[in-house]
Amino acid sequence: MDLRNKVLEIHHRLCRAYGCPVSYFHALDPLSELVSSLLSHRTRNADSGAAFKALRARFPDWAEVAGAPVAAVEAAIVRCTWPEQKAPRIQSILRAIEAERGTLSLDFLADMTVEQARTWLERLPGIGPKTSAAVLSFSTLRRPALPVDSHHHRVAIRTGLIPAALAVGPSHRVLAAQLPADWDAQQIYDNHEVLMLHGQRCCFHRSPACGRCPLLDLCPFGQQRQGPHPVAAAVPQAEAPA
């Protein structure tokens, strides 16, 4: 099987396993999504969600966040990891957006191509390809941009879609280029979500459940551990920490 067909087969099998189309998990405006994405870095979803809600409750306006004492912002987001780093970073980004655009809004990204919008976002301090893709894909913009998190990245390496030496950042362009050019935002989002879910529920960082993996016959890593195996029919069920 060539790489393009393998990518599609993996996508289709995981869609059968986890259900596609995948519902969007929230509908934030792009600036709010940017802040949410920054809070989520290396943080459990429940904790980053709680930190975001606490930040909005304490500062209902993003201009208030930008102008607040950094200690107050840090206290509001204490549920996320490294609040002492994220608080000044968020403030710096908000101030940079306002300085360049004259307002605290990223709605103008809707008028750019995906590539132009990602380039603009990645000029901001501390914004890389995962965050720029998340802002475009997860926000109300609903644009076809592929984020790659650590679970998605792990599954891609183990199934042979990318080499093990390719870091998460550079993998964004490689994995996106493997997908059909005519896929819409929902299909791109589905691809990210099902690979991420598979990493969370089956292809664990430690002790992956290769014996019940629907990709085993396509996965060099799994076959090394289990030996060649026919297509697994079981849908992954149990969720465990990666």
pLDDT of residue 111: 97
CB neighbourhood size of 19 (10 A): 14
pLDDT of residue 240: 37
Tokens standing for residue 192: 């990210």
Asked which of 56-60, 87-91, 192-196, 238-242 is least confident by mean pLDDT, the reply is: 238-242
pLDDT of residue 41: 87
pLDDT of residue 238: 39
pLDDT of residue 227: 65
Band of pLDDT at residue 30, cut at 50, 70 and 90: very high
Find out whether 157 and 47 touch, Cβ atoms under 8 Å: no
| pLDDT > 90: percent of the chain | 88
Residues 6+ apart with CB under 8 A from 53: none
Rg (CA), the chain: 19
Q: What is the mean pLDDT of residues 141-146?
A: 98
Query: CATH says 30-138 is which class?
Result: mainly alpha
Find out whether 191 and 11 touch, Cβ atoms under 8 Å: yes
| CA nearest neighbour of 48 among 166, 138, 159, 119 | 138
CATH number for the domain running over 3-21+147-226: 1.10.1670.10
The residue with greater pLDDT, 99 or 235, is 99
Does 232 score more than 80 pLDDT? no
Does 236 score more than 70 pLDDT? no
pLDDT, mean over the chain? 93
Read off the pTM. 0.89
Tens of pLDDT, residues 164-223: 999 999 999 999 999 999 999 999 999 999 999 999 999 999 999 999 999 999 999 999
Tell me the domain boundaries of the chain: 3-21+147-226, 30-138
Q: Give the whole-angstrom CA distance, residue 8 versus residue 165.
A: 23
The single-letter code of the amino acid at 38 is: L
CA torsion, ordered 58, 63, 67, 72, to nearest 10 deg: 20
